[in-house]
């Protein structure tokens, strides 16, 4: 039986970094939910389809053969698109694609299919509450808003005050949206990463892994 670790939380809490490190440490597959939306956005651009066309975007999302491997690579219909999906225009398209409920439902089905056959770590905003409600371990990773803004500003070399406002607006949108809002699942463990190093957060979550789902297996 496969094991699913779900990590939710707001932007800048460190979800992606921790999920990648945790998956590598455990030998699990990291499901990058954002990358999957980027894949659909990329395919739409290549097919010259308007990303706001909800019907066509749902068709693409369902038809896309999306694969992820334990090396962090992302594949679309057999092609490694790990680099292509990081282009700025793809990011813009993905943001539009992610607002379409039918696309979200289609990708959730694909995410669940991966989780049914592989041990996975997945991060996002609705993973423990919607995508994998029966996950073996659920984490809600959070941090002080000021700390989250500082981290994101350092990542993109941007203005901290501007980024703080943008993150505040995104938090509000994520928490208030009708379709799969950002929320802490009732049975999720709350982890505050404020003031902690990446290594410290990773170790804290590994302790939860050992306590809840290791079943005697030793994880290094």
pLDDT (tens digit, 9 = 90+) per residue, 76-86?
999 999 999 98
Q: Any idea where the domains of the chain sit in the sequence?
A: 1-28+120-220, 33-118
Q: How confident is the model over 61-77, as pLDDT tens digits? A: 999 999 988 788 999 99
Residue 89 and residue 86: Cα distance in Å, rounded?
Answer: 8
The tokens 């509000």 sit on which residue?
172
| Architecture of the domain defined by 1-28+120-220 | 3-Layer(aba) Sandwich (3.40)
Q: Is 0.85 topped by the overall pTM? A: no
Strand pairing of 29-32 and 120-124? Answer: parallel
Show the low-confidence residues of the chain (pLDDT under 50): 216-220
Which three-class secondary structure state does DSSP give residue 195? coil
| Architecture of the domain defined by 33-118 | 3-Layer(aba) Sandwich (3.40)
If phi over 0 gives left and psi between -120 and 50 gives alpha, with beta otherwise, what is residue 5?
beta
Token digits of residue 155: 């990542």
Q: Does the fold of domain 33-118 match that of domain 1-28+120-220? A: yes
Q: Please give the pLDDT value at position 177.
A: 74
Beta-bridge partner residues of 31: 122
Residue 93 and residue 20: Cα distance in Å, rounded?
Answer: 24
């Amino acid at each position: 039986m496969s094991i699913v670790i779900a990590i939710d939380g707001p932007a800048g809490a460190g979800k992606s970094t921790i999920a990648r490190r945790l998956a590598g440490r455990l030998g699990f597959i990291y499901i990058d939910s954002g990358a999957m939306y980027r894949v659909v956005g990329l395919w739409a651009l290549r097919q010259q389809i308007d990303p706001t066309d909800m019907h066509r975007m749902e068709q693409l999302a369902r038809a896309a053969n999306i694969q992820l491997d334990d090396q962090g690579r992302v594949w679309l219909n057999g092609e490694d698109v790990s680099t292509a999906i990081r282009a700025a225009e793809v990011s813009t398209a993905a943001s539009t694609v992610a607002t379409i409920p039918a696309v979200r439902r289609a990708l959730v089905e694909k995410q669940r299919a991966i989780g049914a056959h592989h041990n996975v770590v997945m991060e996002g905003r609705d993973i423990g509450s919607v995508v994998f409600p029966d996950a073996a371990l659920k984490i809600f990773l959070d941090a002080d808003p000021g700390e989250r803004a500082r981290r994101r500003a350092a990542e993109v070399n941007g203005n901290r005050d501007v980024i703080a406002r943008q993150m505040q607006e995104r938090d509000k949108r994520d928490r208030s949206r009708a379709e799969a809002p950002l929320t802490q699942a009732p049975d999720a463990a709350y982890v505050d990463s404020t003031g902690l190093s990446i290594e410290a957060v990773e170790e804290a979550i590994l302790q939860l892994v050992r306590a809840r789902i290791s079943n005697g297996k030793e994880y290094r």
